[in-house]
């Protein structure tokens, strides 16, 4: 009787081991399928976002923009990246840009825009420039700020940053709450002004 019970105990022991092995096998299979499905989901998600990469990279870029044959703008940058495969295409100059903009009234004396970073939204025809932005008009009026936005369709330039202005006669102005202007700077409005600035073109808004 002792030998029989011993055999029964051994069989039960091996059945328990076999049962645990099966559970471990099923558990490992479940983990494998979970990991695989996660990897597939990540692949699908990556596939949705993989269009957001530069379709063109231009080193030492020199871009010319014309209107009816007249050169309205020249832009130079160490590197320009074009993102054209997304819903809202844009062009970015991450290492700075130097723009010359031309007025038909004074075509040989361009104004300039310099910045450490610039972005252009193609469909909107909208520019933004950031980082030590410096604008000089063809009348030698100089503007300094940290960011500026240029809506080419509306022909407007504006900023909410503090603007430091030096006129060609040496007079100065600080627009502490920004400004808005025509993109040829024939008219402009400064907000919360201070300084010794005097000109017939100036309009003030102190709201």
Structural domain of 165: 56-190
What does pTM read for this prediction?
0.66
Arithmetic mean of pLDDT, 87-96: 92
The answer to whether residue 34 is domain-embedded is: no
Q: What is the DSSP string of 25-74?
A: HHHHHHHHHHHHHHHHHHHHHHHHHTT-S-SEEEEEEEEEEEETTEEEEE
Q: Quick: pLDDT tens for 112-125.
A: 999 999 999 988 88
**Domain CATH number, residue 139:** 2.60.450.10
Greater confidence (140 vs 29) lies with 140
The pLDDT-based confidence of 134 (bands split at 50, 70, 90) is: very high
CA distance 107 to 71: 9
Residues whose CB is less than 8 angstroms from the CB of residue 93 and which lie 6 or more positions away in sequence, other chains included: 61, 75, 77, 78, 79, 80, 81, 117, 118, 119
pLDDT tens figures, 168-206: 888 888 888 899 998 888 888 888 766 554 444 444 443
The listed range with the strongest mean pLDDT (51-55, 70-74, 194-198) is: 70-74
pLDDT at 53: 80
pLDDT at 32 over 70: no
Domain assignment present for residue 61? The answer is yes
* pLDDT score of 49: 57
Residue carrying the six token digits 């379709």: 55
Distance CA 53, CA 49 (A): 9
Q: What is the mean pLDDT of residues 139-159?
A: 93
Looking at the domain assignment, is residue 8 inside a domain?
A: no
Q: Is the pLDDT of residue 130 over 90?
A: yes
In a domain, 47, yes or no: no
Residue 41 lies in a domain: no
Q: How many domains in the chain?
A: 1
């Amino acid at each position: 009787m002792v030998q029989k019970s011993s055999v029964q105990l051994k069989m039960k022991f091996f059945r328990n081991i076999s049962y645990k092995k099966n559970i471990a096998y099923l558990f490992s299979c479940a983990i494998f399928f979970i990991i695989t499905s996660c990897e597939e989901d990540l692949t699908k998600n990556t596939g949705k976002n993989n269009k957001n990469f530069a379709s063109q990279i231009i080193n030492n870029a020199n871009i010319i923009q014309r209107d009816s044959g007249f050169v309205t703008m020249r832009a130079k940058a160490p590197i320009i990246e074009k993102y054209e495969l997304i819903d809202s295409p844009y062009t970015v100059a991450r290492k700075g840009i130097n723009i010359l903009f031309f007025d038909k009234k004074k075509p040989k004396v361009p104004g300039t825009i310099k910045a450490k970073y610039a972005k252009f939204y193609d469909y909107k025809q909208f520019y933004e420039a950031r980082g030590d932005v410096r604008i000089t008009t063809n009348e030698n009026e100089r503007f300094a700020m940290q960011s500026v936005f240029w809506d080419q369709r509306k022909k407007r330039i504006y900023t909410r940053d503090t603007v430091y202005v030096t006129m060609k006669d040496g007079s100065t102005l600080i627009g502490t709450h920004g400004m808005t202007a025509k993109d040829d700077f024939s008219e402009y409005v400064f907000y919360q002004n201070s300084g010794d600035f005097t000109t017939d073109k100036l309009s003030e808004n102190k709201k």
